[in-house]
Amino acid sequence: MSPVYHVNSDVHVDKAITYMLSKETGAILIKNEQGEYEGIFTKADLIKLLEKELDPSTITISSVMSSPIRCLDQTESHDQAKKKMLENNIRHYAVSDGNKIIGLISNNDLDF
**Residue-wise pLDDT tens digits, 32-80:** 999 999 999 999 999 999 899 889 999 999 999 999 999 999 999 999 9
28 belongs to a structural domain: yes
71 belongs to a structural domain: yes
93 belongs to a structural domain: yes
- pLDDT above 80 for 112: no
1 belongs to a structural domain: no
We report the CATH number of the domain holding residue 71 as 3.10.580.10
**Domain region containing 42:** 6-110
Q: What phi and psi values does residue 44 have, to the nearest 5 degrees? A: -65, -40
Domain count of the chain? Answer: 1
What is the predicted pLDDT for the residue at 30?
A: 98
Residues ≥6 apart with Cβ < 8 Å to 62: 9, 10, 30, 32, 38, 39
54 belongs to a structural domain: yes
- pLDDT above 80 for 81: yes
